[in-house]
């Protein structure tokens, strides 16, 4: 139907999350219609990223530098490490602009079902980092799922010997959330952790 080059572009775009075969066709059409302003700049941005992006040897973040921008930033607090499952979680926390310490990206969660053990994650490096005496607190910001919490418990156990405070994210009512739509677990956690106004 169309030339092989266009077919190839469609089938690669269809592999992106959120794009199926149909929307990949639409995206390809948009790209070839806006060759100068979109297709060529995007191809160059991808080539640059493809050459430059690496995993940070300190924290496991992905960036074009190693150590990454966050590990390099002298204005960040060296005393705090926030442990997250994935780069996406790090980005989410950074968007809030409310944490100014360092990060540690695990690259997943422990999972007996999927055969993911501690040696498959970025945990040994975390233990080494946490044993540095300038670290005072490790915040376990894994997801509030079973796997995420299992991983957090495991890390807390491993860090029990180190001289650091170990904390986790607070559970409670989401800001802007309606009680009526909340699950029972969250609601009772919010009630238990109630605070004086």
Q: Which is nearer to its own copies, 33 or 79 (CB)?
A: 33
Rounded CA-CA distance 78/136 in Å is: 9
Q: Does 15 help bind its own copies (rule: CB under 8 A)?
A: yes
Q: Does 18 help bind its own copies (rule: CB under 8 A)?
A: yes
Q: Does 58 help bind its own copies (rule: CB under 8 A)?
A: no
Rounded CA-CA distance 46/151 in Å is: 34
Q: Which is nearer to its own copies, 80 or 87 (CB)?
A: 87
Q: Does 3 help bind its own copies (rule: CB under 8 A)?
A: yes
Q: Is 41 helix (H, G, I), strand (E, B) or coil?
A: helix
Q: Which is nearer to its own copies, 21 or 117 (CB)?
A: 21
Q: Out of 57, 77, 79, 94, which residue is the one contacting its own copies (CB under 8 A)?
A: 94
β 137-140/80-84 pair status = parallel
Rounded CA-CA distance 126/60 in Å is: 10
Residues 6+ apart with CB under 8 A from 65: 56, 72
Q: Does 25 help bind its own copies (rule: CB under 8 A)?
A: yes
Q: Which span sits near its own copies by CB under 8 A: 56-64, 133-141, 168-176, 183-191?
A: 56-64
Could you tell me which of 64, 58, 76 has the C-alpha nearest to residue 122?
58
Min separation Cβ 71 and its own copies, Å? 12
Q: Is 23 helix (H, G, I), strand (E, B) or coil?
A: helix
Instruction: Give start and end residues of each alpha helix (H) in 57-121.
Output: 69-72, 87-96
Min separation Cβ 6 and its own copies, Å? 6
User: Site residues (CB under 8 A) for its own copies?
Assistant: 1-3, 5-6, 8-9, 12-13, 15-19, 23, 25-27, 29-33, 35, 38-50, 52-53, 62-65, 68-69, 87-88, 91, 94-95
């Amino acid at each position: 139907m169309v030339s092989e080059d266009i077919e190839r572009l469609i089938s690669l775009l269809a592999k992106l999350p959120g794009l199926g075969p149909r929307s990949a066709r639409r995206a390809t059409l948009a790209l070839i219609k806006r060759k100068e302003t979109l297709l060529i700049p995007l191809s160059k941005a991808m080539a640059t990223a493809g050459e430059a992006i690496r995993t940070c040897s300190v924290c496991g973040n992905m960036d074009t530098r190693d150590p990454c921008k966050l590990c390099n930033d002298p204005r960040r607090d060296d005393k705090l490490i926030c442990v997250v499952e994935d780069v996406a979680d790090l980005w989410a926390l950074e968007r809030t602009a409310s944490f100014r310490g360092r990060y540690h990206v695990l690259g997943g969660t422990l999972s007996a079902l999927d055969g993911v053990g501690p040696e498959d994650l970025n945990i040994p490096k975390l233990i080494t980092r946490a044993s540095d005496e300038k670290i005072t607190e490790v915040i376990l910001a894994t997801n509030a799922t079973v796997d995420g919490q299992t991983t957090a418990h495991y890390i807390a156990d491993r860090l029990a010997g180190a001289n650091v405070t170990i904390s986790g994210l607070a559970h409670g009512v989401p800001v802007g959330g309606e009680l009526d739509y909340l699950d029972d677990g969250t609601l009772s956690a919010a009630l238990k952790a109630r605070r004086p106004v």
